[in-house]
A and B are shown apart, each in its own frame.
Chain A
Amino acid sequence: MTQRISKSKRFFMMNPIIQFFKFIWLSLKILVIVAGGHGGTRNSTTP
């Protein structure tokens, strides 16, 4: 095993309070991508 994730980063990844805000942020960010929609590629110039 090689420690590739530092202690401070691991604390950030596993701290429930920080991660609660991350959860809200991630949910919104994913929603934006989903709500960003989809379309064709042949005639459109979206996104």
Chain B
Amino acid sequence: MSKIVILGAGISGHVAAAHLRRKLSKEHEVVVVSPNSNYQWIPSNIWVGIGRMKSKEILFPLEPLYKKKGIGYKQAKVKTFYPEGDKETKKPFVNIEYVMGEQKGVTEKVTYDYLINATGPKLAFDMTEGLNPGTNKAYSVCTYSHAEHAWEALNDLIQQMKAGKKAKILIGTGHAKSTCQGAAFEYILNVEQELRRHNVRDKAEIVWIANEPKLGDFGMDGMLMSYGSNIMKSSEMVEMVFEDRGIKWIIGAGVNKIEDGIAYYENLDGEYLSETYDFAMLIPAFSGHGFKAFDKEEKDITDKLFKGFMIVDADYTPKPYEEWSVQDWPETYQNPAYKNIFAPGIAFAPPHAISKPRVSKNGTAISPAPPRTGMPSGITAKLVADNIIDTINGKKELHHKGSMGNMGAACIASAGYGMTKGSGISITTFPIVPDYKKYPDTQGRQLSKTFGEIGLAGHWLKMALHYAFLYKAKMKPFWWLIPE
């Protein structure tokens, strides 16, 4: 009998728990530890942030589902890792602290045979002075409660614009090393469309601010893609959309300080500038959670497990950009020091960025961190679950592999909400991490699988994914037939 403990119930933790429970007999225990009692379909937060969806439409409580399916659940957060146990406890364990109810503040040792760290990122607002969602007129859509809050403020501003106020809206990244530009990109287009719907578009100046060196970089070094019968750069596509929508842009900008209605930033030319705004939505830096790890003698071994995020089977040797290769990227998400620990989704430490690193004339690093979107998060979680199942069944090697250098991703970016007026920019990329050796003439990607499409169908697709993935997450009949 084996006990598998999963930390986090986001896309990757929940996918891993669901597959493990379905495929393993009941003698094996599956336990999820996560502080948020709800599962949330994060991609739809964009629509909560423009008031077109209620947060209850994108979430559901985890405990009743886990109870029904025979998955253990602890509403707690992990604090420390003991992968060898300690003097009293021979088995490996994690220390957790309950966050709700009567047990709030109580700590517990949770032992395991296999551990899946799927704790995603820490939303590191504290890395940018003054950036704290809901203060200084700056908001976030990274969680459903942040998105609700953002909509309240935006709606308030729309009402003021209806009464004649001219306003400036700033959307993008709130730190020089932020990632997740795609989410901000979706939000700016949705906000722009909502302002048109409310007949106040002429009252607003909308500005994109991002740490990307070029529009459409998305933390992935941009991409060359097929667009209809043409071949286009993602930078050209985004520029076309922004110009068409009257959105201005500031790129290569590392936002470093927020004051009430003012964003201060440094650009790649080394200039220190600022931008005023009446409403801002800025994606913070994502960091590791700062977990600590100890061996059985209680000696600090954090550096065996963490490098910010969790160390896995990647090649972390520091190399210049020219020497980066897809082979640096992990395949099994297994920690090399403790083979029963895995980290899928955003929780694993990437070997390096995907976008070319850039520094300003003053030496400040201003370039996007590597994104890990929903699809790779789900795929890596499933392969980790499958490898654990194989190991429990006696297999010696890990057969399931999925490097982001040999994996495609579909990103359906909402460009406006509405069954007849909505729009989406559907972009697929293969591979996610460009393989410049294999595809030297097409910027590291396979053109037949890297394409972009703009139109109403994209909105329907994003809607279809919303319903399909919530159906899957609720583990309704035949949920496993829906791919990750």
User: Real complex partners, A and B?
Assistant: yes
Contacts of B430 in A (CB 8 A): 33, 36, 47
Asked if A38 contacts B423 (CB within 8 A), the reply is: no
Asked if B401 contacts A23 (CB within 8 A), the reply is: no
User: Which residue of chain A is the closest to B408 with respect to CB atoms?
Assistant: A33
Asked if B456 contacts A19 (CB within 8 A), the reply is: yes
Please provide the 8 A-B residue pairs with the shortest distance between their CB atoms, ordered closest to farther. Answer: A1-B246, A13-B455, A40-B401, A38-B407, A22-B457, A23-B457, A38-B402, A19-B456
Asked if A27 contacts B461 (CB within 8 A), the reply is: yes
CB distance from B279 to the nearest CB of A (A): 20
Asked if A34 contacts B408 (CB within 8 A), the reply is: yes
Asked if A23 contacts B460 (CB within 8 A), the reply is: yes
Asked if B329 contacts A4 (CB within 8 A), the reply is: no
Contacts of B456 in A (CB 8 A): 13-16, 19, 22
Say yes or no: is A8 at the interface (Cβ < 8 Å to chain B). no
10 contacts between A and B (CB under 8 A): A3-B244, A13-B423, A19-B456, A23-B457, A26-B458, A27-B461, A34-B483, A36-B408, A39-B401, A40-B401
Asked if A27 contacts B243 (CB within 8 A), the reply is: no
Say yes or no: is B410 at the interface (Cβ < 8 Å to chain A). yes
Known: A1-B245, A1-B246, A47-B406. A41 touches B326 (CB 8 A): yes
Asked if B449 contacts A26 (CB within 8 A), the reply is: no
Contacts of B408 in A (CB 8 A): 33-34, 36, 38
Asked if A33 contacts B410 (CB within 8 A), the reply is: yes
User: Which residue of chain A is the closest to B383 with respect to CB atoms?
Assistant: A38
Contacts of A34 in B (CB 8 A): 375, 408, 410, 483-484
Contacts of A42 in B (CB 8 A): 327, 331, 403
A27–B483 alpha-carbon span in the complex (Å): 12
Interface SS of chain B: mixed
Q: Report which of A5, A16, A41 forms a contact with B405, defined as CB distance below 8 A.
A: A41
The chain A residues found within 8 Å of chain B, CB to CB, are 1-5, 12-16, 19-20, 22-23, 26-27, 29-31, 33-36, 38-42, 44, 46-47
Asked if B240 contacts A4 (CB within 8 A), the reply is: yes
Interface string of B183-206 (1 = CB under 8 A from A): 000000000000000000000000
The chain B residues found within 8 Å of chain A, CB to CB, are 240-241, 243-246, 326-327, 329, 331, 375, 379, 383, 401-403, 405-408, 410, 420-421, 423, 426, 428, 430, 435, 446, 449, 451, 453-458, 460-461, 464, 483-484
Asked if A14 contacts B455 (CB within 8 A), the reply is: yes
Asked if B461 contacts A26 (CB within 8 A), the reply is: yes
Contacts of B326 in A (CB 8 A): 41
Asked if A27 contacts B464 (CB within 8 A), the reply is: yes
Interface contacts (Cβ under 8 Å), in number, total 103
A12–B228 alpha-carbon span in the complex (Å): 12
Asked if B455 contacts A22 (CB within 8 A), the reply is: yes
A20–B460 alpha-carbon span in the complex (Å): 9
Q: Report which of B375, B403, B423, B426 forms a contact with A26, defined as CB distance below 8 A.
A: B426
CB distance from B27 to the nearest CB of A (A): 31
Q: Report which of B327, B401, B420, B449 forms a contact with A16, defined as CB distance below 8 A.
A: B420
Contacts of B405 in A (CB 8 A): 41
Asked if B244 contacts A5 (CB within 8 A), the reply is: yes
11 additional contacts (CB under 8 A) given A2-B244, A4-B241: A2-B246, A14-B420, A19-B455, A22-B456, A38-B383, A38-B402, A40-B403, A40-B406, A41-B403, A41-B405, A41-B406
User: Which residue of chain A is the closest to B454 with respect to CB atoms?
Assistant: A13
Which of A2, A30, A38, A47 has the most CB atoms of chain B within a 10 A radius of its CB?
Answer: A38
Asked if A4 contacts B244 (CB within 8 A), the reply is: yes
Contacts of B428 in A (CB 8 A): 29-30, 33
CB distance from B466 to the nearest CB of A (A): 14
User: Which residue of chain A is the closest to B426 with respect to CB atoms?
Assistant: A26
A8–B118 alpha-carbon span in the complex (Å): 46
User: Which residue of chain A is the closest to B450 with respect to CB atoms?
Assistant: A33
User: Which residue of chain B is the closest to A36 with respect to CB atoms?
Assistant: B408
Contacts of A19 in B (CB 8 A): 455-457, 460
Asked if B243 contacts A44 (CB within 8 A), the reply is: no
A12–B331 alpha-carbon span in the complex (Å): 41
Contacts of A29 in B (CB 8 A): 428, 451
Known: A13-B454, A36-B408. A41 touches B423 (CB 8 A): no
Contacts of A20 in B (CB 8 A): 457
Asked if B402 contacts A39 (CB within 8 A), the reply is: yes
Contacts of B484 in A (CB 8 A): 34
Which of B331, B375, B483 has the most CB atoms of chain A within a 10 A radius of its CB?
Answer: B331
Asked if B244 contacts A39 (CB within 8 A), the reply is: no
A27–B410 alpha-carbon span in the complex (Å): 10
Which of B241, B407, B455, B464 has the most CB atoms of chain A within a 10 A radius of its CB?
Answer: B455
Contacts of A46 in B (CB 8 A): 406
Q: Report which of B329, B420, B455 forms a contact with A41, defined as CB distance below 8 A.
A: B329
CB distance from A6 to the nearest CB of B (A): 10
Which of B327, B401, B464 has the most CB atoms of chain A within a 10 A radius of its CB?
Answer: B401
